């Protein structure tokens, strides 16, 4: 009986020890710092399209290395809100630029981070993009963009979303800055 | 007098729809002579054998969640999916046993016991990011029967020999399978600088030119 009790006590102690070890070890913890992002700038303007981009820093604030397996921007502009443009968006690592909207999985050591570039392309459904974006601004339409990212680390994978807003004021500012520069 | 020369061969991205030997014949045959050894990256052999899985497709057991915590961060088994894939390949109990013995051995200053006991796949599985797109989001197991693959390459190309090698930029090289008569340790030393490149899927084949002649010469001297 005493032997059995010793085994049980030993198992409990080992379990507590493992639990404490894991709790102390922690895990990766990612944050996309949308408050610290750069303003959108107008990269390219044609008769029917306008291409904007901004940079968003991110950080692994946790205590373990983590992998961003996938990440992409999800723009949200329903036609009920504004029907004058079609939107496409993509996201890429600043350290691994590419234009195919493929996010190559990357390990981010704890305590470090990086930045992603988000590109948003508006295409006018009718007429010029300038007129469409003017109308968007008149209607004070701001567009939400969710940064969606899939993380895998010591724990099973999970998907997080961080929301940022692309305001119509920001769009107009970027258009004016570009035209002033020209 | 001929010297050893390493000649990486670029291919398109190979997938599980490809036969690795056919691809080596297609991309490398014209540069392969009778004194050459053809080496191929093990992860690409594994990919062509369909030995890949997505983390999303793995069912994680409680033990994998716990044991991955005891693997240093840089190891593929430090993620719960790397550990689970090793368990799926080698068995839960074997991995558990190897981990327990490995920990005890470490206490006594002996490293590497876990990998000696856990089975070959525990050391060979590549976690996500281990390979280049489109397989960067997959785990890649070690190749199946690398020796037979090497023999088949040798037979089809009529070369001096062939090898399936696991080489990385951290100056670690292991030759998993060789055709008859080749010394895997010697080949590992030749490939130690990772001529496959960091993204070995782009140049998964490396021809070791003049290996046979250099071998004959060194044997003659001996």
A4 pLDDT tier (thresholds 50, 70, 90): confident
**Considering only CB atoms, which chain A residues are within 8 Å of B60?**
156
Contact A157 B56 (CB under 8 A): yes
Taking CB atoms and an 8 Å limit, are B136 and A154 in contact across chains?
no
pLDDT at B198: 54
* B41 touches B174 (CB < 8 A): no
Split at pLDDT 50, 70, 90, the class of B221 is: low
Tens-digit pLDDT profile for residues B176-198: 999 999 999 999 999 988 877 65
Residue in chain B nearest A153 by alpha carbon: B79
pLDDT value, residue A120: 97
Question: Who among B68, B129, B137 is closest to A154 (CB)?
Answer: B68
Three-point CA angle B61, B137, A111, nearest 5°: 85
pTM beyond 0.90: the answer is no
Q: Does residue B1 or residue B117 have the better pLDDT?
A: B117
pLDDT at residue number B179: 95
Q: What percent of chain B has pLDDT over 70?
A: 95
The complex scores an ipTM of 0.84
Cβ atoms of B120 and B91 within 8 Å: the answer is: no
Q: Do A156 and B80 touch (CB under 8 A)?
A: yes
Residue A106 has pLDDT above 70, yes or no: yes
**Cα gap A64→B114, rounded to integer Å:** 22
* Tens-place pLDDT, residues B17-47: 999 999 999 999 999 999 999 999 999 999 9
pLDDT band at B199 (very low <50, low <70, confident <90, very high): low
> A19 to chain B: nearest residue by CA?
B66
Helices (H), A26-145: 129-138
**Model pLDDT for residues B57-113, shown as the tens digit of each residue:** 999 999 999 999 999 988 889 999 999 999 999 999 999 999 999 999 999 999 889
Bridge partners (DSSP) listed for residue A51 = A44, A121
* Helix residue spans in B54-136 (DSSP H): 62-67, 80-90, 92-107, 113-118, 120-124
Tell which residue, B50, B61, B102, has the closest CA to residue B85: B61
Q: What tokens does B89 get?
A: 């390949």
The reported pLDDT for the residue numbered A3 is 85
DSSP string for B12-38? PPP-TTS-HHHHHHHHHGGG--TT-EE
Element counts in chain A: helices (H) and strands (E): 3, 9
Predicted local distance difference test score (pLDDT) of residue B130: 85
Q: What is the pLDDT of residues A65-88, one digit of tens each?
A: 999 999 999 999 999 999 999 999
Q: Tell me the C-alpha distance between B65 and A156, whole Å.
A: 8
pLDDT at residue B167 tops 90: no
């Amino acid at each position: 009986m005493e032997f059995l009790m010793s085994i049980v006590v030993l198992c409990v102690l080992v379990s507590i020890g493992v639990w404490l070890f894991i709790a102390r070890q922690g895990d990766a913890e990612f944050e996309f710092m949308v408050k610290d992002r750069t303003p959108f700038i107008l990269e390219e303007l044609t008769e029917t399209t306008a291409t904007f981009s901004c940079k968003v820093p991110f950080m692994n604030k946790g205590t373990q290395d983590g992998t961003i397996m996938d990440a992409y921007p999800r723009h949200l502009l329903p036609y009920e809100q504004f029907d004058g443009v079609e939107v496409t968006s993509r996201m890429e690592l600043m350290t691994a630029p590419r234009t195919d909207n493929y996010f190559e999985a990357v390990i981010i050591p704890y305590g470090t981070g990086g930045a992603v570039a988000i590109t948003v392309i508006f295409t006018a459904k009718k007429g010029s993009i300038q007129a469409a974006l003017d109308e968007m601004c008149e209607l004070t339409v701001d567009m939400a963009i969710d940064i969606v990212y899939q993380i895998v680390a010591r724990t099973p994978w999970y998907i997080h979303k961080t929301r940022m807003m692309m305001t119509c004021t920001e769009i107009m500012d970027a258009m004016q800055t570009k035209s002033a520069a020209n | 007098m001929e010297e050893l020369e390493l000649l990486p061969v670029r291919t398109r991205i190979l997938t599980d729809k490809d036969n690795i030997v056919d691809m080596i014949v297609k991309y490398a045959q014209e540069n392969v002579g009778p004194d050459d050894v053809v080496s191929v990256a093990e992860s690409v052999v594994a990919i062509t054998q369909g030995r890949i899985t997505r983390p999303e497709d793995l069912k994680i057991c409680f033990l994998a969640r716990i044991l991955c915590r005891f693997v240093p961060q840089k190891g593929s088994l430090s993620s719960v999916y790397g550990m689970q894939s090793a368990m799926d390949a080698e068995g839960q109990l074997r991995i558990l046993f190897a981990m327990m013995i490995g920990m005890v051995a470490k206490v006594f200053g002996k490293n590497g016991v876990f990998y000696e006991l856990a089975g070959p796949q525990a050391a060979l599985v590549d976690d996500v990011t281990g390979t280049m797109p489109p397989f960067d989001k997959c785990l890649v197991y070690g190749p199946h029967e690398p020796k037979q693959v090497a023999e088949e390459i040798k037979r089809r190309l009529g070369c001096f020999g062939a090898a399936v090698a696991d080489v990385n930029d951290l100056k670690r090289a292991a030759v998993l399978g060789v055709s008859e008569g080749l010394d895997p340790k010697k080949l590992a030393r030749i490939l130690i600088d990772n001529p496959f490149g960091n993204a070995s899927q782009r140049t998964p084949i490396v021809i070791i030119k003049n290996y046979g002649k250099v071998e004959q010469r060194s044997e003659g001297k001996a």
